[in-house]
Structure 1
Amino acid sequence: MSSLSAWSYTAQATIWKRSGAASEYRDPVFEAPVVIACDYQGGLSKRVGDIGSEKVVKNTIWTEYALADTGDYILIGVSTEVDPIAAGADEIMQAIRYADTFDRLADDFAIITGA
């Protein structure tokens, strides 16, 4: 962990990765939850208009965790629940990679969730 990340990533989040398998009802199957170091910012949730609703950013989570991907689930805080939906986790819309500008030890990621 870079020196700046150790200073700034003082919160925790729980992430559930999709295993790639599906249940007999075609629901996604998730790996065991993993707790990561992070920081976060809340955002907007859902915008409802005359012709329906659209997904917008709900939370942005900054971390050095490099394995987050679209379709995984993440929850701010620690959870041991095996089902991310039951835990109240949000689906990841995108993970954006940023360079570790100062230490060049581990890149940083912005994990964006939607509502």
Structure 2
Amino acid sequence: MSNIANWSYTAKATIWRVAGENEYGKKIFHPPELIYCNYGLDSAARLGDIGTGFIIKNTFWTEYALANEGDFILIGKFTELDPIRAGADEIKHIARYADTFERLADDYALITGV
């Protein structure tokens, strides 16, 4: 972990990475992993063809590089093997940012809604 990430990524989150699918197309997950991060919540009302909808998304900033779209994430430490039961949200988008100061590890924004 870079020196800057060491003081800025002090929160913990649990991530469930997708390992594959079973014969019925249901996702199979690796055991939950604890990552260090920081996070924020954003919400907005969107007007569509059938009315207004409310969108909530969490963004997790981290140096954790193994996350993929389709994985699940939740603020805090959890041992539940099923991310749905734990209340986790699916990662919908990932943005990558350079480690501007030390060039040790890139930073990522894991976004649960778009």
Q: Given the two structures, how large is their TM-score scaled by the length of structure 2?
A: 0.89
**Residue 12 in structure 1 maps to residue 12 in structure 2:** yes
CA contact (8 A) 1:93 1:113 kept: yes
SS in 2 for 1:74: strand
Q: Secondary structure at the match of 1:5?
A: helix
> Which residue matches 2:94?
95
Distance in 2 of aligned mates of 1:90 and 1:5: 24
CA distance in 1, matches of 2:83, 2:65: 19
Structure 1 counterpart of 2:24: 25
Question: In the TM superposition, what whole-angstrom CA distance separates every residue of 1:38-78 from its partner, at most 9, and x where no partner exists?
Answer: 00001117747451676845100000000111100000111
Aligned to 2:62: 63
With over 3 angstroms needed to count, the CA separation of the structure-2 counterparts of 1:89 and 1:99, relative to structure 1, is same
Contact 1:45-1:114 within 8 A present in 2 as well: no
Unaligned runs of 5+ in 2: none
Partners of 1:72 and 1:51 in 2: CA distance: 29
CA contact (8 A) 2:43 2:54 kept: no
Percentage of pairs with the same residue: 58
Amino acid at match of 1:11: A
1:95: how far off? Answer: 1.1
Length, aligned pairs only: 114
Name the CA shift for 1:88/1:45 in 2 (closer, same or farther; >3 Å).
farther
Deviation at 1:26? 1.9
Aligned to 1:114: 113
Q: Name the residue aligned to 2:3.
A: 3
CA separation of 1:70 and 1:45: change in aligned 2, threshold 3 A: farther
